[in-house]
Structure 1
Amino acid sequence: MKILTAAQLAEADRITLEKQDISSEELMERAGTLVFNEIHKRLQGAPIPIKIFCGIGNNGGDGLVVARHLIQHGYQVRTFVVNYSDKRSEDFLSNYERLKEITNDWPELIKSEKGFPEIQTGDFVIDALFGIGLNRAVEGWPAKLIDLINGSQAFVLSIDMPSGLAPDQVFANGAVIQAGYTLSFQSPKLSFYLPDTMDYVGDLQVIDLALDREYLGNVNSNMFLIGKEEAQSLYKSRKTNSHKGDYGRILIIGGSYGKIGSVILASKSAMRSGTGLCTVHIPECGYNSLQTSNPEVMVLTDVNSKIITNLPSDFDADVYCFGMGAGTNDATVKAFGEFLQTQKKPIVVDADGINIISKNKTFLKHLPENSVLTPHPGELRRLIGEWKDDFDKIEKVQALSREFNLIVVVKGAHTFVVNQEEIYINSTGNPGMATAGSGDVLSGVITSFIGQKYSSLAATILAVYLHGASGTIASDKLGYESLLASDIADHIGRAVQDLLDIPATKPRMT
């Protein structure tokens, strides 16, 4: 699914009005009615006190449409107009008059803090204060109103986006509605998925406004939300007539004394993801544990018993993976630098591999094109430096990706895959995956798919999706707190079955 900017959504509105020959007021009626339908579907006429807070722009106009429909369906509604400016949108004014026609109670005007109503815990609050056109932080008494709403413990539903939040920028200060549920129009917004802002959104539902299909289909976007449909389009089914050589020969290099488990997890997840042949290169101390835990994996041992000191530059693999558990010993750094000088196949660089690069930036220019970096937030900060906010972080990652033709995985609750200008945002996963070794599993899956002849970009997007889906399947059985990285690896096959809509148990053939 494309993620559109505020400017693109405004243009979609304009073209829709023209092509569908409707007025902006009619489009507002459509939007407000769709929001009402979703609320009515859930409340079913329940006698819940509803308080609607409307701004004086188009978002407030949407709220007035919702208020009118709720009143006409017998709900107990109080409507408040938050008078933070002398300017009004025409469609807001039109719907203000329509609301007055159907009720003896005019919308209550709030002009200052003195006019704030009492908000009870059992109230249902609808936030229609500020929409996607907001261009500055919410301050002054409107900010205090937002603080009152947030502190009331009432359930809050935001129309289009939580007031105070902007789709394409982060305000350094200012109040933001803490929504329990957001009904957003036509396209999700980038700020819904950023660490600094995602917690304001609550549960999210995107409502199809039936904007012009031709424009939506043709508009260029560099941001995409990856769901099941998108992941399905990337997946390549196996041929019946095939053998292990068809599915990649990969080499995973890493581990050190006390950190062999990271390579065990990476190689196990690579095999679970369909790799034909997987070899690992580890210090000698890990030989017995890896052979015992992953008998399907072939093992090469370093001349050093505890750390990596020589990487097998003459090993012919389709893709290499380096870094998990490797440490940053001077000998390991030297060996990795020499290895990079000889390689042309993609390399998936994780964990200590990224830490090594962060201290030796010249290594970046020796990474083969379409290699993949998989930093967690701390590793990313060491790699690109500090950032002002999440938008600044994304720009810095894009610059790194452009300069060295790399794919960068920005791990988080919504993991981003950055390929130069393009941003792919993952929709799967859960808090239980914030556990040691989860990243090692992901690197193994990415490496596996590149080895299976997926492009580096397709392999990374698909791996991130399946990694999250596997974590969700496993946590459904075990709960968040009990989820281990090995559980994620063990459920990758089930995640693939779910992606392809294959039942967990297929009937036997007779």
Structure 2
Amino acid sequence: MKIPSLNQIRKADQYCIDSESISSAQLIERAAKGCFDWIIHNKSFKIRKYPFIVLVGNGKNGGDGLSLSYMLHLYGAIVFVYGINISNHFSNEFLINKKKILQKKINFKMINEGEKFPVLNQENYLIDAIFGTGFNRTMNQYWKFFFHYINEKKFKEVISIDIPSGLFMEKSHENFEGIIKATHTLTFQVPKLSFLLPNYADYVGKWHLINIGWKDDCIRKIQTKNFYIDDESIHAIYKKKIRKKFTHKGNYGHGIIIGGSFGMIGSVVLSATASFRTGIGKLSVYVPSCGYQIIQNTLPEAIVNTDVEKHYISNIVLSNDKINAIGIGIGMGFHSKTVYALESFLLKIKNKKIPMVIDADAINILSHQLLLELLPKETILTPHPKEFQRLLCRSWKNDYEKLHFLKEMSKKHKIFIVLKGAHSVISTPNGYLYFNSTGNPGMSTSGSGDVLTGMIMSFLSQGYSPKESCIMGVYLHGLAGDIASKKLSEEAIIANDIIHHIGEAYLKIKI
């Protein structure tokens, strides 16, 4: 799914209006109807028991809120509407819908700058339709205080229409005063980039897509470098690799996991097990000799190769068998001989064109030894934010700057980077970003990243491209975690639970 810019969203809305010969007010009514349908079908809302307070601005977003107020009133809800008069300029959409609610004698009051704030009952639901996606300026102190007043109330639910009022869609905030904190954001047609960034999670709450009828041919014409990984994009990748009847293990690749050190062999077990569960045909592991018995006992399907050293890796040697993909770095530690072994290995394979995933300790070695120039093209790195910061050798001011650095590093070194977290983001060598849609906080647990590395390496071994492997890896990894959380709760998930539910995740994407 594409994540368009503000200008592209405006053009798509206008295309919808022109192609259907409808007015802007009619498109707003369609958007309001989508929000209304979401509210009445959401079982957590007791619509006829608790009143709605609706805050509307002067523009089109206010028109959405007024139209929604009208629909809620007709449905039997008690509605109180407050017009937030910031500019004294009223859109046509606002005026049309204001007339409709006044004709129905729905409670309506304008709030002008400098007036005493109204007394609002926090036992009500609040609908925020003050500012839309085009808002990009700083508010004065009066309205900042008003927004703070709203946020201090403990309303039953706060629903923002399209975007939380005061949140910029395409640029960072110097501070976070003057943003409505939503529990739900009902956004139109496409995700907004700010919804996917950690800085804004407390303001966006849970966001939900409301279809307003954009045309497929219009969506196809949108040129963007930001994407949201959804079911449709996964099906498009997966259907090319559906297994055929007369295949064998040789058709699904031979990968190798390289890592481990004394006390950290479990990370290799997790990564290797995840590789098998994701569909690899044949798997080798390379570990210090202390890991031999552990791997043999816990994962008899794997081929075990060991280093001459007992507690750490000192020299990485690939078997004579053809290797289709490499996963390296999991639990390997920072012994001086291990650091040298990694550097020597990267020099040896630089021109062999073997797809590779680098994770964990190997990433930290890269950052300290400045070995990024040794990476083969299209290598995949899977850092968490702190590891990425070490790679950069600098911090970032905000999430937008972080994304800029992410793209620049991928382009400069011609590598893929999977920056792990909520909505893990994949950056590509051509400057594209892909944000994941699956996963939950329960996956913030030791070994979860090792599982992801094994999954991505498995996809590479099976012949998926590096970009496809990253996308499939983060999506299936998150989906398996989501299935586990529904059965066990987020608090109870461990890394093995993610592995155990990979099969169910596969079954789900096959539907």
Instruction: Name 1:419's counterpart in structure 2.
Output: 428
8 Å CA contact 2:73–2:106 kept in 1: the answer is: no
Q: Which moved more, 1:141-150 or 1:127-136?
A: 141-150
Q: 1:37, 1:473 → 2: CA distance?
A: 27
SS in 2 for 1:497: helix
SS in 2 for 1:331: helix
SS in 1 for 2:233: helix
Q: State the AA in 1 paired with 2:379.
A: S
Change (3 A) 1:405 1:150: same
1:241 aligned to 2:243? no
- Paired residues for 1:254-333 under 5 Å: 254-313=259-318, 315=320, 316-333=322-339
Q: 2:140, 2:340 → 1: CA distance?
A: 54
1:454 aligned to 2:455? no
SS in 2 for 1:323: strand
Q: 1:34, 1:166 → 2: CA distance?
A: 23
- Paired residues for 1:114-153 under 5 Å: 114-153=115-154
Q: Which moved more, 1:107-116 or 1:374-383?
A: 107-116
8 Å CA contact 2:48–2:76 kept in 1: the answer is: no
8 Å CA contact 2:80–2:106 kept in 1: the answer is: no
Q: 2:220 aligns with which of 217, 221, 228?
A: 217
Q: Which moved more, 1:303-312 or 1:80-89?
A: 80-89
Q: State the AA in 2 paired with 1:459.
A: S
Q: Which moved more, 1:200-209 or 1:294-303?
A: 200-209
| TM-score, length-scaled by structure 2 | 0.94
Q: State the AA in 2 paired with 1:108.
A: K
Q: 1:130, 1:439 → 2: CA distance?
A: 39
Instruction: Name 2:87's counterpart in structure 1.
Output: 85
Instruction: Name 2:381's counterpart in structure 1.
Output: 373
Instruction: Name 1:497's counterpart in structure 2.
Output: 507
Change (3 A) 1:233 1:178: same
SS in 2 for 1:424: strand
**1:137, CA displacement in angstroms?**
4.0
Q: State the AA in 1 paired with 2:6.
A: A
Q: 2:106, 2:340 → 1: CA distance?
A: 80
Q: Which moved more, 1:461-470 or 1:221-230?
A: 221-230
Give the number of aligned pairs. 499
8 Å CA contact 1:347–1:367 kept in 2: the answer is: no
Q: 1:247, 1:72 → 2: CA distance?
A: 59
8 Å CA contact 1:429–1:471 kept in 2: the answer is: yes
8 Å CA contact 2:377–2:415 kept in 1: the answer is: yes
Q: Which moved more, 1:414-423 or 1:131-140?
A: 131-140
Q: 2:21, 2:201 → 1: CA distance?
A: 36
Change (3 A) 1:249 1:138: farther
Change (3 A) 1:111 1:9: same
Q: 1:175 aligns with which of 168, 175, 178?
A: 178
**1:323, CA displacement in angstroms?**
0.6
- Paired residues for 1:335-354 under 5 Å: 335-343=341-349, 344-354=353-363
8 Å CA contact 1:113–1:145 kept in 2: the answer is: no
Q: Which moved more, 1:85-94 or 1:335-344?
A: 85-94
Change (3 A) 1:302 1:400: same
Could you give the per-residue CA deviations for residues 265-317 of structure 1, whole angstroms, max 9, x where no partner exists?
Answer: 11111111111111111111111111111111111111111111101156541
SS in 1 for 2:330: coil
Gaps of 5+ in 1: 502-510
SS in 2 for 1:414: coil
Change (3 A) 1:212 1:274: closer
Q: Which moved more, 1:391-400 or 1:8-17?
A: 8-17
SS in 2 for 1:115: coil
8 Å CA contact 1:3–1:223 kept in 2: the answer is: yes
1:227 aligned to 2:204? no
8 Å CA contact 1:136–1:171 kept in 2: the answer is: no
Change (3 A) 1:129 1:450: same
SS in 2 for 1:165: coil
8 Å CA contact 1:113–1:144 kept in 2: the answer is: no
Q: 1:192 aligns with which of 190, 195, 201?
A: 195
Instruction: Name 1:164's counterpart in structure 2.
Output: 166
Change (3 A) 1:475 1:94: closer
**1:121, CA displacement in angstroms?**
3.0
- Alpha-carbon RMSD: 1.8
Change (3 A) 1:44 1:314: closer
Q: Which moved more, 1:213-222 or 1:245-254?
A: 213-222
**1:16, CA displacement in angstroms?**
2.2
8 Å CA contact 2:48–2:78 kept in 1: the answer is: no
Q: Which moved more, 1:64-73 or 1:411-420?
A: 64-73
Q: 1:141, 1:130 → 2: CA distance?
A: 16
Q: 1:401 aligns with which of 410, 432, 454?
A: 410
Q: 1:199, 1:453 → 2: CA distance?
A: 40
Q: State the AA in 2 paired with 1:456.
A: P
Q: State the AA in 2 paired with 1:450.
A: L
Change (3 A) 1:37 1:470: closer
